[in-house]
Amino acid sequence: MKKLSILMLAFVFLLSGCSLEDAADHIKREVSNWEKENPNETFIPKNLKVVSVGDSLTQGVGDSTKKGGYVPYLENQLETLDGVKDAQFHNYGVRGNRTDQLLKKLKKADVKASIQDSDLVMITIGGNDVMKIFRENLSHLELEVFQGEKRQYQLRLQEIIETVRSYNPDAGIVLLGLYNPFNTWFSDIEEVNQVIHNWNEASQEILSGYDKTLFVKIEDLFIDTGDTLLYDDYFHPNDEGYKLIADRMFTDLANGETLATLTDTTIPVEEEERPS
């Protein structure tokens, strides 16, 4: 089709009395413009640099392969995209990390350097903040306690986002939501689900104040599944749980132009390639 258009253009120019030199020069400019306006979707596949920071979900506690929980699944899925040549992950997850501890981790030279050179920063955090409140208030657990601590969590999360942004203003930021690991034993205590839901909303509220951010909701994945998605400790995901988390992350990233927007690059996504 492009060759036909060029030939027709040359023919019109000759009929109009232009010289071959003039026609060739004009056609050269037209072809150049055509290439810019209609780039091949796989013209320059990107090496996607991803930094993962946070808690045990990033470290991969419960993953029998010891390869980093959701990370290897998501890495493989991203590399199926036509626009991604290679997805390179740097994993800095630490079991037990809370928001205050992640802030300290972000100040380490190696983590800072990786973020500065990244396209995406994946964050899993908040679960241990909630667990700390559970442990300290077992004898008098009330929603009001969590509400008060939630605001402090938001302030620390905001500082985390600001820190990442100060290192790299252009990197996309993806925050994984919380899930309720107690559904197996305390499914009748609705307040626990309410706490998780409220804290997820609090996270989304913070992210809404920044461009190039994405919140990935996973709380629904662990409802009514018993312990089938949990590791032997009945708290962390097992292999299947991590795979489902990676599937959700990939689906949200590959939704329309989301990944391209987060990474400032052309990353075409075929509809049929998305997980159902």
Q: What is the pLDDT of residues 219-240, one digit of tens each?
A: 999 887 767 888 888 789 999 9
What's the total number of domains in the chain?
2
Q: Are residues 20 and 152 in the same domain?
A: no
Looking at residue 13, its pLDDT comes to 39
Across-strand partners of 174?
122, 214
pTM for this predicted structure: 0.79
Q: Are residues 200 and 102 in the same domain?
A: yes
Q: Are residues 222 and 184 in the same domain?
A: yes
Q: Which domain holds residue 225?
A: 46-273
Q: Are residues 63 and 149 in the same domain?
A: yes
Q: Are residues 81 and 16 in the same domain?
A: no
In sequence order, the 6+-apart residues with CB closer than 8 A to the CB of 32 are none
Instruction: Give yes or no for a contact between 55 and 127, defined as CB atoms under 8 angstroms apart.
Output: yes
Closest CA to 251 of 202, 214, 223: 214
Report the alpha-carbon angle 263-264-270, nearest 5: 75
Cα–Cα distance measured from residue 67 to residue 69, given in angstroms and rounded to the nearest whole number: 6
Which two tokens mark 54? 């946070």
Q: Are residues 134 and 262 in the same domain?
A: yes
Q: Are residues 23 and 156 in the same domain?
A: no
Instruction: List alpha helices for the chain, DSSP H.
Output: 2-15, 20-37, 56-59, 71-78, 99-106, 109-116, 127-136, 143-167, 183-186, 190-207, 239-253, 258-263
Q: Are residues 16 and 51 in the same domain?
A: no
Tens digits of per-residue pLDDT, 50-98?
A: 999 999 999 999 988 888 899 999 999 999 998 899 999 999 999 999 9
Task: Report DSSP letters for 121-146, one per residue.
Answer: EEEE-SHHHHHHHHHHTGGG--HHHH
Looking at residue 6, its pLDDT comes to 41
Looking at residue 191, its pLDDT comes to 77
Looking at residue 187, its pLDDT comes to 57
| Whole-Å CA distances, 258 to 16, 207, 236 | 47, 15, 28
Q: Are residues 215 and 79 in the same domain?
A: yes
Residues in the chain with pLDDT values less than 50? 1-17, 19-20, 23, 27, 30-37, 39, 41-42, 271-276
Closest CA to 148 of 136, 164, 139, 160: 136
Q: Are residues 27 and 53 in the same domain?
A: no
Cα–Cα distance measured from residue 48 to residue 126, given in angstroms and rounded to the nearest whole number: 26
User: What is the chain's length?
Assistant: 276
Instruction: Give yes or no for a contact between 175 and 214, defined as CB atoms under 8 angstroms apart.
Output: yes
Looking at residue 256, its pLDDT comes to 82
Angle between helices 109-116 and 99-106 (to 10 degrees): 80
Q: Are residues 26 and 127 in the same domain?
A: no
CATH of the domain at 259: 3.40.50.1110
Q: Are residues 200 and 181 in the same domain?
A: yes
Looking at residue 270, its pLDDT comes to 52
